[in-house]
Amino acid sequence: MKVVSFFSGLGGLDKGFLNAGYDIIWANDFDKFAVATYKANFGDHIVLGDINEIPLAQIPDCDVLIGGFPCQPFSMMGEQKGFEDARGTLFFRVAKILEDKIKRGKKPAAVILENVRSLKTHDKGRTYQEIHRILTEVLGYKVFCEILNSADYGVPQTRNRTYIVGFASQEAEFSFPEKVPLTCTLQDKLEAEPGEKYFLSERILPTILSDGTGGYKARSEIDLTVARPLCATMAKMHRACQDNYVTQKGRVRRLTPRECARLQGFPDSFIIPVSDCQAYKQFGNAVTVNVAEALARSVRDTLTDLGAWRDA
C-alpha cells in the first residue's frame, strides 16, 4: 500500500508503517533539521516546506494517509488554544487534501492521525467533535479513536497519545492493537559509556533535583524504571519532576540522544546526523515506532479483510 506522510518529523510514524510492509512514497515536514534526519535514514522522498504552501497537485495519490499533526495547540503543556492557533488549523489542511483526492476519485482507503492525549478533552470535547464531524460527515470515513500508551507496546516510556483511524469503507471493522507485557526498563536502554557532557555538575544538581520553584511544585524523582514522556525541551534540562535523569557510576546525568532514540523504539542503526539539541527536540516530538508498527499492522488486517490491501 502506498502511503503519504504529513508532519513526518524524523520518521517515527513512517518507520512503524515501513516495518509493517507499507511503502512510503512521499513525506513532508517544515523543519529542515528533522528533514535532514529523515533523509539520512529513509531517503529523499521527503519534501521540506510548509504544507499550506505545497500545491495540492504536487501531493501524490495514495492508498493510506498518515500524519501526527502538530500537537502544541492541544497539549496540556501549552496554552491549549486549539483551532485558534495557526498550527491547529493544519488539521483543516489535511482535510482539504483529502477532499481534493475524493473529488478526483482517489480517496485513500485509510487515514491515520496522531495527537496528544488531551485532544479528546480539549475545549470540553468540542475540538475532537469537530475533527470527528469533518472526517465522518464531510469526508465520509468510518472513524475509530483510542488513546495508546507506549509502555503498553514494549517501550519503557509512559507516553499517551490519541490515535484516530478512519476507513473509506463503512463496512470496516477495526480493533486497536492489543497491549503486550513490558519486559524491559529504562535502565535496560542506557548506554554503558555516555559522554562526560551528559553528567550534571554539582552546581546545577540541586536545581535539577528540587521539587519546583515559585508557584510550580512537583515531586522530583530520578532513576524511574519507566521513563516519563520524552519532550521537545529536553535540551534545556528543566527539572527531574519533568525530564528523565538517571544515576550511573554514582553520578546523576540526563539521557543521551541515543537513549532517547531507544525509548522511542528506534534501532541503534538509526542515524542521528544533527546536534544533541536538535536530536532531543526530534525524539521528544516523535511517534513511538513500536506503537506505530502495532497500529499499522492492525490497519493492515482491516484492509485485508475488506479486500483493499495491495502489496507495496
Please give the grid coordinates belonging to residue 130: 469537530
State the catalytic residue, choosing from 62, 71, 231, 241: 71
Whether 276 and 261 have beta carbons less than 8 Å apart is answered as: no
Whether 280 and 235 have beta carbons less than 8 Å apart is answered as: yes
Please give the grid coordinates belonging to residue 234: 529536553
Alpha carbon separation from 8 to 82, 96, 137, 183, 220 (Å, rounded): 20, 18, 27, 29, 33
Report helix, strand or coil for 217: coil
CA proximity to 88, closest of 98, 102, 78: 78
Whether 294 and 221 have beta carbons less than 8 Å apart is answered as: no
Please give the grid coordinates belonging to residue 133: 464531524
- Number of neighbouring beta carbons within 10 Å of residue 41: 18
Query: Catalytic annotation on 71?
Result: yes
- ∠ CA 142-99-81, nearest 5°, is 80
Catalytic center residues: 71
